[in-house]
Amino acid sequence: MKAGMLKENSLKGKNILITGGGTGLGKSMSAYFLKLGANVIIGSRNANKIKQCVKEFSIEFPNQITGISCDVRNYDDIKKIIDYGESKFGLINGVVNNAAGNFISPTERLSPNAFSVIIDIVLKGTCNMSLAIGKKWLKNDIKGTMLNIVTTYAWTGSGYVVPSAVSKAGVLALTRSLAVEWGKKGIRSNAIAPGPFPTKGAWDRLFPKIIQEKFILKDRIPLNRVGEHHELTNLAGYLMSDYSSFINGEVITIDGGEWLKSGGEFNWLDKIPSEMWDGIEGSIRGERKS
Active site residues: 153
- Contact between 94 and ligand NAP per CB under 6 A: no
Strand 188-194 with 251-254, pairing: parallel
Residues 104-143, interacting with ligand HXC (CB under 6 A): 105, 109-111, 113-114, 117-118
Question: What are the Cα distances from residue 288, in Å, to 33, 132, 144, 277?
Answer: 59, 65, 60, 17
Rounded (5°) CA angle 20-72-140: 100
Contact in structure between 139 and 145 (CB atoms under 8 Å): no
What does the DSSP 8-state code read for residue 256? T
Taking CB within 5 to 8 Å according to partner kind, which of ligand NAP, ligand HXC, none is near residue 209? Answer: none
Q: Nearest 5°: phi and psi at 19?
A: -75, 145
- Contact between 196 and ligand HXC per CB under 6 A: yes
Measured CA to CA, the distance from residue 283 to residue 288 in angstroms comes to: 9
What are residue 253's DSSP bridge partners?
193
Q: Contacting ligand NAP (CB under 6 A), which of 14, 35, 45, 220?
A: 45
- Contact between 190 and ligand NAP per CB under 6 A: no
Residues 142-171, interacting with ligand HXC (CB under 6 A): 151, 164
**Side-chain-facing half-sphere of 80: CA atoms under 13 Å:** 13
Nearer to ligand HXC, 58 or 74 (CB): 74
For 226, the 3-state DSSP assignment is coil
Which range, of 11-19, 131-139, 179-187, 194-202, touches ligand HXC by CB under 6 A? 194-202
* Residue sitting closest to ligand HXC (CB): 101
Nearer to ligand HXC, 134 or 194 (CB): 194
Contact in structure between 179 and 249 (CB atoms under 8 Å): yes
Nearer to ligand HXC, 110 or 131 (CB): 110
What does the DSSP 8-state code read for residue 69? E
- Contact between 121 and ligand NAP per CB under 6 A: yes
- Contact between 206 and ligand HXC per CB under 6 A: yes
Nearer to ligand HXC, 117 or 252 (CB): 117
Q: Which amino acid is at 263?
A: G
Q: Nearest 5°: phi and psi at 66?
A: -150, 170
Residues that bind ligand HXC (CB under 6 A): 100-103, 105, 109-111, 113-114, 117-118, 151, 164, 195-196, 201-202, 205-206
Q: Please report, as ranges, the residues that interact with ligand NAP according to CB under 6 A.
A: 19-20, 22-26, 44-46, 49, 70-73, 98-102, 121, 125, 149, 151, 194, 196-197, 199, 201-202
